[in-house]
Chains A and B, each alone.
Chain A
Amino acid sequence: MTHSGNQHKMELVCPAGNLPALKIAVDNGADAVYIGFKDDTNARHFAGLNFNEKRSREGIEYAHRHGTKVFLAINTYPQASGWDRWKHAVDLGAALNIDALIAADMGVLDYAVANWPDLRLHLSVQGSATNSESIRFYYENFGIQRVVLPRVLSLKQVEQVAASSPVPVEVFGFGSLCVMVEGRCLLSSYVTGKSPNTFGACSPASAVQWKDTPDGLQTRLNNVLIDQYGTNDPAAYPTLCKGRFEVGQNTYYAIEEPTSLNTIALLPELQAIGIAAIKLEGRQRSPAYVKQVTQVWRAALDTCHDNAQNYQPKTEWLQTLHSVSEGRTTTLGAYHRPWQ
């Protein structure tokens, strides 16, 4: 293979919400997969999702046999009453020989360093580090070896952070988009009592109501009307920042449209600024989704690594990604300054 002047290869980090998804990601070219346990210790705490000890062991063995790394997300914020659960999760992850722990909470990071000094640590996107000084705090205190950046930075800001960060940087490439800075968004607990920080889920399914009315289909979250749809309109899951609300005289997506982040067009730029890894969102999605996005992104990264100068996203990649996107639309999000 030729690498026309490019310094490094970006790692492809794929979501695995269960064992079939993990195997599919591994089989289709993920460099690493990330998983979580079946409880509130991770930020995709959804019913029927994630790994118990036995499945984790199987998954990690499968991945390692195929040369793929496994990262374990323990990236919510424990309170004193649940502390033992997080402690147990860290201990189990270390014992299972994971390749890195993705964590956000200072207490969890401190516990991991004190008890598992050889365990590689990544600062989760939930750690909310949007600048190099913040990253430096986690580097100096806990020796993190990578940071996952929140999806609020423009490309120029990502470049600035990457240039001055003490550790390599991982960014989100594709998937559901948080418009709020991760780790500091309480909208979900304001409405439902449960937030990504405390419970590992935003707008949790247990609080969702779908209701047919003469005015159309209404979606509610703990009784708060998030959106309503005409008979033939496709209804979206009521993620509360993606509903239609009234401001002044206007009813519109006042915060964010239902759309997915897609940075596949930016790969050469991300490579040039030294991004270490591209993360795909979607542990809550099906193995079929994982297969599609892993295949597309593997091909895109290989193409970019081979010849960044002539890199162009292929039409079929874009079509595939659109077909699995929220609201069937994608955006460059904050990477693209005018979006802000």
Chain B
Amino acid sequence: MNTNTPKLSLGPVQYYWGRDAMLDFYRRIADTKIDIIYLGETVCAKRKLLRRDDWLNLAKQLQNAGKEVVLSSMTLIEANSELATLKNLCENIEFTIEANDMAAVQQLTGRSFITGPAINIYNPRSLQVLAKRGLKRWVLPLELSKQALADINKEKPTEIETEVFVYGRLPLAYSARCFTARAHNLPKDDCQYRCLDYPDGLLLSTQEKEPFLTLNGIQTQSAKTSNLITELDDLIQHNVDVLRISPPSQHSEKIIDIFYQCLHHGYPLEQANNELQALMPTGGQCNGYWHGSSGMDQCTKTQEATWQSMQS
């Protein structure tokens, strides 16, 4: 059983930030206690303020700062040009690559690679298929619960590490259509890079003004921030090796620090939870998926016990 303290990772920035903002962000991240940094554009091929060489330079700088760096690949790959970009990325052998589409898994065969949250590994047999092809770490699909993880752990190849998305707005869907452009009545081909105006995405609310989803170009996220800080003991019990924080535009250093203090210095989880809530963008928090409930739910331990007794 893994009794080690999990490492902390910073997922790829899901949004489109200006070039200076992005470079400045990673300069600040270099000084945090984060162990692993995922770098690269994973949402929209049109977001090119940082080019491949910029990302590679950044990767080297962060590596020199003592971070484990992983290059993240695109999630939805449709055009041949996007496939060519992917092949180009996968030719890099200096850094490990996170596959976010099966095309990347195919490209990375025989090499050590990581799968991101949008790769569908729902059962041990799927994990075993990819283990044979070089998988070294996988991110639990967002909609799977700790029970599903526990079941997978029983048959998981021991050398494979598990990473769980523990903090951030949840990336829930990808489309050919750009919803940010649509919100501005612009065609996708002439989107005028409106994503730059929304460093945490564009809020979508119900007609009752309830924050519901976040539009981020072709990606749709939750409006709520998923937050598993109060589940740290559970995550450790489930042999989770890496905890992923998905960075918002504000307070990422503080969020990393709170997780670090909880993991390494016994900082009280409830207090940490309160502090994190104050840092979240509009929408509040949720943790339902981890508890086997609707993703948008916020479950407490008591509710979970009641729920389980109702089911049994």
Q: Which residues of A contact B (CB under 8 A)?
A: 77-81, 83, 104-108, 110-111, 128-134, 136-138, 140-141, 152-154, 157, 160, 164, 179-181, 183-187, 189-193, 195, 197-198, 222, 224-228, 241, 244-248, 250-251, 254-256, 334, 337-340
Contact B207 A251 (CB under 8 A): yes
Q: Shortest distance in angstroms between B109's beta carbon and chain A's nearest beta carbon?
A: 8
**A131 contacts B122, CB within 8 Å?**
no
Query: Would you call B80 an interface residue if the criterion is a C-beta within 8 Å of the partner chain's C-beta atoms?
Result: yes
B-side contacts of A180, CB under 8 Å: 173-175, 220
Q: Is the CB of A247 within 8 A of B215?
A: yes
Chain A nearest Cβ from B37, distance in angstroms: 24
Contacts A108-B125, A189-B295, A340-B177 known; 9 new A-B pairs at CB < 8 A:
A78-B123, A79-B144, A134-B106, A152-B76, A180-B173, A186-B142, A246-B206, A254-B182, A340-B189
Instruction: List the count of A-B residue pairs having beta carbons below 8 Å apart.
Output: 209
Question: With an 8 A cutoff between CB atoms, is B237 at the interface?
Answer: no
**B118, B128, B207, B220: the one within 8 Å of A187 (CB):** B220
A87 → chain B closest CB, angstroms: 10
Measured CA separation A246–B147 after assembly (Å): 36
- Could you list 11 examples of A-B contacts with CB < 8 Å? A80-B148, A105-B126, A130-B76, A134-B101, A134-B102, A140-B106, A185-B173, A189-B295, A192-B294, A245-B207, A247-B203
A181 interface neighbour in B106, B155, B175, Cβ under 8 Å: B175
Which of B77, B174, B202 lies in contact with A247, CB distance below 8 A? B202
Q: How far does the alpha carbon of A195 sit from the alpha carbon of B76 in the complex, in Å?
A: 19
Chain A proximity of B73: nearest CB distance (Å): 11
Q: Residues of B contacting A191 with CB < 8 Å?
A: 294-296
Contact B155 A137 (CB under 8 A): no
Partner among A152, A160, A338 whose Cβ is within 8 Å of the Cβ of B187: A338
Interface pair B120/A105, CB less than 8 Å apart: yes
On whether A107 and B208 interact (CB within 8 A), knowing A130-B77, A337-B189, the answer reads no
Contact present for B172 and A80 (CB under 8 Å): no
Least distance between A189 CB and chain B CB atoms (Å): 5
Give Cα A259–Cα B106 distance, bound, in whole angstroms.
35
Contact status A80-B154, CB under 8 Å:
yes
Q: What is the CB-to-nearest-CB distance from A275 to chain B, in angstroms, rounded to a whole number?
A: 17
Choice from A80, A190, A226 contacting B155 with Cβ under 8 Å: A80
What is the CA–CA distance of A106 and B76 in the complex, to the nearest angstrom? 18
Is A157 within 8 A of B78, CB to CB?
yes
Q: Determine whether the beta carbon of B151 is less than 8 Å from that of A134.
A: no
Q: Chain B interface (Cβ within 8 Å of chain A)?
A: 75-80, 82-83, 86, 101-103, 105-107, 118, 120-126, 128-130, 141-144, 147-148, 151-152, 154-155, 170, 172-179, 182-183, 187-189, 202-210, 212-213, 215, 220, 222, 288-289, 292-297
Q: Is the Cβ of B220 less than 8 Å from the Cβ of A128?
A: no
Are B294 and A160 neighbours in the complex by a CB distance under 8 Å? no
Please name all residues of chain B whose beta carbon is closer than 8 Å to the beta carbon of A189 when the two chains form the complex: 143, 289, 294-295
Contacts of B170 in A (CB 8 A): 186, 190
Contact of A107 among B102, B122, B182 (CB under 8 A): B122
Q: B179 near A255 (CB under 8 angstroms)?
A: yes
**CB <8 Å contact, B207 and A130:** no
Which residues of the other chain, A, contact B126 by a CB distance below 8 angstroms? Answer: 105-107, 110
Contact A128 B102 (CB under 8 A): yes
Tell me which residues across on chain B come within 8 A of A193, comparing CB atoms.
288, 292-295, 297
Residues of B within 8 A of A224 (CB): 206, 210, 212, 296
Name B148's closest neighbour in chain A (CB-CB): A79
Chain A, residue nearest B181 (CB): A340
Q: Are B204 and A247 in contact (CB under 8 A)?
A: yes
Given contacts A128-B120, A131-B78, A225-B206, contact A186 B295 (CB under 8 A): yes
CB contacts (< 8 Å) of B296 on chain A: these are 190-191, 224
Specify the chain B residue showing the minimal Cβ separation from A78: B123
